[in-house]
Amino acid sequence: MTATTARRLRKAGQRVTSQRLAVAAALSASPRQVTAQELWEQMRPTRPRLGRATVFRTLESLSEAGLARRLERDGHVYAYVACRPTHHHHLACRVCGTVEEIGEELVTEISRRARQQMGFEIEDARLDFYGVCRACTAAGLASRSES
């Protein structure tokens, strides 16, 4: 993971530092989207000298390099999720915070219609869909989170 992360950072023109690698590893290990504050708190026991501002800045750098994606939560709070290198989009559960990557094939029809009906040639797209995952829906958590 570290070699791949380092390679992706270099390819994006960013420096490879121990802090960036540590934040990327912690983000990749997270089973759900996390805020910078949450990630910093998770990392503190093993990396007590890692500053909170460093985690915030590093997450933004990882997002710029394509190693992470910034998602918006209610109240304009940002959370982050690790991303694989291939182009994809996200399904983010507003209840449990899990994020699933979905491939381009699920949104190809949107691009095709934009080109045909509007003459618009899409060069890049980043789509994040927010809702309730299957597990939370099955557990009846969808309606509870809205109250």
Dump pLDDT digits (tens) for 69-90. 999 988 889 999 999 888 888 9
**Average pLDDT along the chain:** 90
Burial level of 38, CB count in 10 A (0-12/13-18/19+)?
middle
Give per-residue pLDDT as tens, 135-146: 999 998 877 544
Q: What is the pLDDT of residue 45?
A: 96
Can you tell me the distance from the alpha carbon of 43 to that of 40, in angstroms, rounded to the nearest whole number? 5
CB 65 within 8 A of CB 20: no
pLDDT score of 59 more than 90: yes
Calculate mean pLDDT across residues 25-41. Answer: 96
The residues, any chain, with a CB within 8 Å of residue 122's CB and separated by 6 or more, are 111, 114, 115
The residues, any chain, with a CB within 8 Å of residue 85's CB and separated by 6 or more, are 8, 66
Can you tell me the distance from the alpha carbon of 145 to that of 133, in angstroms, rounded to the nearest whole number? 12
Can you tell me the distance from the alpha carbon of 85 to that of 104, in angstroms, rounded to the nearest whole number? 13
- Residue 58 has a CB neighbour count (10 Å cut-off) of 27
